[in-house]
Structure 1
Amino acid sequence: MSLFDKFLKKKSEDKEQEIQIPDDWDFYLCDIDGKTGSYFLNLALINIIPIVEKNAFLWIELTLNQPTEDGMSSQQEYDTLISLEDQLIPQITELFNAIYVGRLTHSGTRDFYFYLNENIYDAKLVEKTIHKFSDYQIKFGLKNDPLWDIYRETIYPNIYAMQSLTNDRVIRNLENHGDTLVAERPVEHWCYFETSEGRDKFIKTIQTEGFEINSQSYHEENKKPYCVQLVRTDSVELDNINGVTWALLELCIENGGEYDGWETLVILN
């Protein structure tokens, strides 16, 4: 490597170190070929990708030693996996100045995902690192992905998974305030539409499903300015509220709109 090449590499590394990575970590479940999968993902990255300096996707897959019947991680293996992650993730991140984006557990495996600069990738260094964890069968690979399509289109939750994740966050907030989720209660929802015609068609349909209209309004600054606020008494347990919100989400999309979430009162029993 020439002096000039070293200088360019140093400048590139300095530039990479300036990247500020936001954090918004959460779990979500998904279906992979008819089997349950669980992602633990930094959702905040969707707001800053693609990161030009990180143009390659590194995956490291280990086979679980004690998976559950449905292929997920077991309580018996929990401590061992946490210890492994606490070592593996920082080592890979430091070796390649990589960004750890998350992991997937499914079908008896756990996959760890990173983005890094392909120019500084070294398979031998990865092999040396994973060799330390000889209790596990581990394999890895690298894919060129300058636009972060794998993160955006495969790893990041689709609209239904994201809505379920959002629902779960609201439920956790209710529980943190002492709500046991047992009682049904009025649940308010917000939806926005491109046209008044789309909003009116939506309202006509949801009124047949027992929803009442609290208010309608117009917000000129929004891309979808026609707002409707509706309410119905429902259970807020996750399975039920998922069904309610997914149905509203689909109906909004059908009428040129978007679903913007729900809220309810805390009920202490």
Structure 2
Amino acid sequence: MTDNWGFYERRSASEHMRVLVNIGYKDTYPLAEYAELLSITINLYPVRANNRTNRDFVRQLEQLESKLEHWLKLATDAIYIGRINAARKLEFYYYVDSSRLNRQKFDEWLEQNWTYRAQVYVKPDPQWSFYTFMLPDALEELFIHNAQMIYALIHKGDDIGQPRNVYHWLLFREDIDRREITLMLEKRGYVIEKDREGKPEQGYPYPLVISRFEDVRLDTVNERVRELHSLIEESGGRYDGWGSVMKLSTINRLRRSMKRYLELAEATVRRLFLRRNA
């Protein structure tokens, strides 16, 4: 099975959760031989209190996650389905074959490899009900796409904190729905991009392109997508994605300029060399 990880945020009445889930099992679960759900819950308060910086705090948790996955895979061939991070706790979830999990050995390993107290539970879940709970809904799938896009922008050197025109593509079944929501969006501060034509799709022949001047931090984009998704869902429409031009940081602009300069100089030298040896 190929891993396919998705990250998104989920809000409930009492909690704000950050969820990482392996979507790779979405079309094949449940797996009959992995009928037990193993959860490991970490209280974050003592971990945070004993680390000087947030970087050290995150690094310690990442090391635990990596060690857990490695040990459980070797010892039990467990399937890591994801984690849930809330304000006070971090939870790791696995599906295991109970005949392969030696609870005493696992508890001993955890005590040797983790300084703080951890709560461990194993319970039957043959239908993978908890995995179903972790899978994203339609809006959360958009959040996963947002995280992937922003990661790609950062990887390419984008300064995501710089404001720029961020474009959103909307689709509607009826023109009257598009006209009605256009007025609502203008009142909320969106610009209607009349010169930018959206692409109609089957069942949604009426596109609309809008924009807003703001940064592309994940929290900003997620809040914008949440708002638009809610508005157009009420109008029988569909949110079709967003995009923006890149805004390179100063150092990345210098690096890119230097790279182009060196490539040009190399090409010039190569041409001169070829001429002299022709």
TM over 0.5: yes
Equivalent residue, structure 2, for 1:23:
4
Classify the secondary structure of the residue corresponding to 2:112.
coil
Alignment partner of 1:62 is 2:42: yes
RMSD: 3.4
Classify the secondary structure of the residue corresponding to 2:115.
coil
Whole-Å separation in 2 of the counterparts to 1:207 and 1:77: 43
TM superposition shift of 1:122? 4.5
Structure 2 contact 177–235 (Cα < 8 Å) conserved: yes
Alignment partner of 1:211 is 2:191: yes
* TM-score for both structures, normalised by structure 2: 0.69
Whole-Å separation in 1 of the counterparts to 2:31 and 2:148: 28
Structure 1 contact 118–144 (Cα < 8 Å) conserved: no
Alignment partner of 1:113 is 2:105: no
The gaps in structure 2 that reach 5 residues or longer are 251-278
Structure 1 pair 258–148 and aligned structure 2 pair: CA distance change class (3 A): farther
Cα deviation code 1:224-260 (max 9, x no counterpart) = 4334131224213324333322211001211223212
Structure 1 pair 236–163 and aligned structure 2 pair: CA distance change class (3 A): farther
Equivalent residue, structure 2, for 1:254:
234
Structure 1 pair 248–143 and aligned structure 2 pair: CA distance change class (3 A): same
Select the structure of larger CA radius of gyration.
2
Q: Relative to total residues, which structure has the larger helix share, 1 or 2?
A: 2
Count the aligned residue pairs. 242
Whole-Å separation in 2 of the counterparts to 1:184 and 1:75: 26
The gaps in structure 1 that reach 5 residues or longer are 1-19
Structure 1 contact 29–38 (Cα < 8 Å) conserved: yes
Structure 1 contact 59–141 (Cα < 8 Å) conserved: yes
Which deviates more, 229-238 or 46-55? Answer: 46-55
Identity of aligned residues (%): 20
Equivalent residue, structure 2, for 1:177:
156
Equivalent residue, structure 1, for 2:257:
none
Equivalent residue, structure 1, for 2:145:
166
Cα deviation code 1:178-199 (max 9, x no counterpart) = 3324554333222234555544
Equivalent residue, structure 2, for 1:189:
168
Q: Relative to total residues, which structure has the larger strand share, 1 or 2?
A: 1
* TM-score for both structures, normalised by structure 1: 0.71
Moved over 6 A (4+): none
Which deviates more, 89-98 or 207-216? Answer: 207-216
